[in-house]
Structure 1
Amino acid sequence: MAEIIENNSGKSSGKRKPKKYSTDIDMTPMVDLMCLLITFFMLTTAFSKPKVMEIVLPDKTIDTNIKPMPVDKNRAVTIIMAENDIIYYYEGLAKADSLPSLIKTDYSKDGIRKFLLKRNKPLLEQIIAFKEKITKGELVLPRDSVNSELKKLRNKDKVGPIILIKAADNIKYKNFVDIIDEMAITNIARYAIVDLNHLELKMLETAPK
């Protein structure tokens, strides 16, 4: 609050002197208000959480005593990310005497996503049925339990595709992010990032551009 100081002398000279006002302002109430505002915004503002992308990478340590886990050829799907935002994929496993043809697609919803949704249809139907029960109120579960049940459905999947993600030279980091996003969108239960083999390098040489 501003202090008003009146300077009145005891004697009256018949001529009134102008009043003098102090220019000092008490800022104490403003400091209290600022503290309240800072506290309010700290309590009401949500802190940004770190975003972590979970991916499976090949183990760089080689143990000759551990045999690599075989991949079911009926479930195997290999996705090869090439430059210029091109994706190639083939089903099954490549063999020297019978090289599969690479199918060209892209990262759009009508590209690799459409194919993955079709291949993963059995698991997707289970997930949709479970979510419908939650929506209709037939199942009442907290969010953590819902996520846990969805994870169990993915772990129990025995027929869905096993995606092997591979990268050619000169691809963008964005391509990795996009393909991992597609795995989440299409609810792929099992996928891993692995290296190209010599057969696939040969297949890329004759792939459609």
Structure 2
Amino acid sequence: MGEIIQEEKSKGGKKRPKHHSTHIDMTPMVDLMCLLITFFMLTTAFSKSKVMEIVLPEKIKKNDKVEPPKIAESRTINIILGPENKVFWYPGRVKDSKNPPALQETDYSDEGIRKILLDRNKLLSKKVAAFKEQTTKENPAITRDSLLANIKRFKKADDSGPIVLIKAYKEARYANIVDIIDEMEICSIVRYALVDINYVEDEMVKTAMARSTSNPKQ
């Protein structure tokens, strides 16, 4: 609080000091505070970190006898994350461990593993598009959240989409795991799982790496 002293002449000719109290108008500060609060609230809402949700299976105890789920071989595609940002894949399963199939090499580009997954997922994508069109036609007022929930249930009930088994070689990078899971979301792959690589596939990667080294891409 400040004080201003102003001299004032009295009737006798003497000057008498006149006191004026001063104060600060806080009204503009209140408006500024409200603007700052609104700004920080919006900034916090828009800058939420994106979390990748992964549902992991329950850990099996040593004494538990659990049979592995049966997977259709025609729908299965094995993706092996190799060293040096390389990606290898093969369809189906290894029928003969002494004569395993040759791994096919690709990368994380649009024309690489993404194109392979999209080609494998064409049938399901067409079904989802038809289901979406039919749902919006029957119920034009359906909300976006309800539509996405219906599509999600439709995908889970489908039995034609690919089943992707993701396996990481010992020299693969953690960033590659994030990249391949991103590709699952981009390509709308419904069924995929992180699986341990076995000894045969480990040897298959070594063979593929040796072949890639001897025949480098131009």
Q: CA RMSD in A?
A: 3.2
TM-score scaled by length of structure 1:
0.82
Aligned to 2:86: 86
Percent identity, aligned pairs only, is: 40
1:61 maps to 2:56: no
> Is the contact made by 1:134 and 1:140 (CA closer than 8 Å) also made in structure 2?
no
Compute the displacement of 1:64 (Å).
3.0
Give the Cα–Cα distance (whole angstroms) in 1 for the partners of residues 188 and 88 of structure 2: 20
Compute the displacement of 1:102 (Å).
0.2
Aligned to 2:50: 51
Compute the displacement of 1:140 (Å).
3.2
Change (3 A) 1:29 1:5: farther
Give the Cα–Cα distance (whole angstroms) in 2 for the partners of residues 3 and 40 of structure 1: 36
Compute the displacement of 1:174 (Å).
1.7
Following TM superposition, the consecutive aligned residue runs of length 4 or more in structure 1 with deviations greater than 6 angstroms are 19-23, 134-138
Aligned to 1:41: 39
SS of corresponding position for 1:8: strand
Give the Cα–Cα distance (whole angstroms) in 2 for the partners of residues 106 and 143 of structure 1: 34
Compute the displacement of 1:27 (Å).
4.7
Structure that is richer in strand per residue = 2
Change (3 A) 1:128 1:84: same
Structure that is richer in helix per residue = 2
Aligned to 1:158: 159
More displaced stretch, 69-78 vs 28-37: 28-37
Unaligned runs of 5+ in 1: none
Give the Cα–Cα distance (whole angstroms) in 2 for the partners of residues 126 and 5 of structure 1: 85
Higher relative contact order (CA 8 A, sep 6+): 1
Residue type at the aligned position of 1:178: D
Unaligned runs of 5+ in 2: 213-218
TM-score scaled by length of structure 2:
0.79
1:105-135 CA distance string (max 9 Å, x none): 0001100010111111111112223444578
